[in-house]
Amino acid sequence: MRDKYGADKRSWLVNLYNHRDHWAPVYLKDTFTAGMTSTQRSEGINAFFDHFVNSNTELHDFVKQYDNAVRARRAAELEQDFKSTNTIPTLIIDHPIEKQARENYTKNMFTIFQKELKDSYSMLHERLSKDGASVTYAVWNIDREAGSKKVEKHHVVFDASKEKRIKCSCARFEMEGVDATRH
């Protein structure tokens, strides 16, 4: 593109390309993003403040409303903490890994884990290689296999050594914060 359209070395397009490791998702697989893009973060903040301020809010009212917004957010977080601490989530498949996750994750994180665990029952796998304690598998969704000409397969490496790590090529768990190595 640079050659075709004659962009010089100082152009914003060349600069953007040179810094692609800061914005292109393929380079950010090991970066925690909570599963959100930068536009989603700003949209979330805008939606949050929409209940408290608008374009006609004067500066002195903005400060008061900002304090109200922060108080409301803290109250909501306290309520979620209380629910997470004082309720026990229901198991859907009564599997030992589900029980362990229920003990280690917050209620919200456990709900995400449960969905992933349930979805894993519609996955197929094929062992690709073994190197010492590490085994590499190809993993794909059964539903996509039936309805698509091109099946997206991810490579999953299971390290059975002392640390027992699992790493998938999609890096979704690392990017969204569901990282089993922290527990």
| Mean pLDDT on 53-57 | 82
Q: Give the model's pLDDT for residue 14.
A: 77
- 136 DSSP β-pair partners: 129, 157
Work out the pLDDT band at 182, boundaries 50, 70, 90.
very low
pTM exceeds 0.85: no
Cβ 175 vs Cβ 31: under 8 Å: yes
Phi and psi dihedrals of 134, rounded to 5? Answer: -100, 135
Q: What is the 3 state secondary structure string of 7-62? A: CCCCCHHHHHHHCHHHCCHHHCCCCCCCCCCHHHHHHHHHHHHHCCCCCCCCHHHH
Q: Using one digit for the tens of pLDDT, what is the confidence trace for 112-122?
A: 889 889 988 88
Measuring CA to CA, which residue among 166, 153, 140, 174 is closest to residue 35? 174
pLDDT in tens, 65-88: 889 888 988 998 899 888 878 888
Res 147 pLDDT > 70: no
Give the residue, 13 or 179, on which the prediction is more confident.
13
DSSP state of 92: S
| Residue 146, token pair as written in the block | 């039936």
pLDDT for the residue numbered 180? 46
**pLDDT score recorded for residue 183:** 35
Give the pLDDT mean for 19-33: 73
- Average pLDDT of the chain, as a whole number: 80
Instruction: Name the region of 26 (left: φ>0; alpha: ψ -120 to 50; beta: rest).
Output: alpha
33-53: b or e for each residue (b if 16 or more CB lie within 10 Å)? beeeeeeeeeeeeeeeeeebb
- Which pLDDT score, from 0 to 100, does residue 114 have? 92
From 1-15, 60-74, 145-159, the region with the lowest mean pLDDT: 1-15
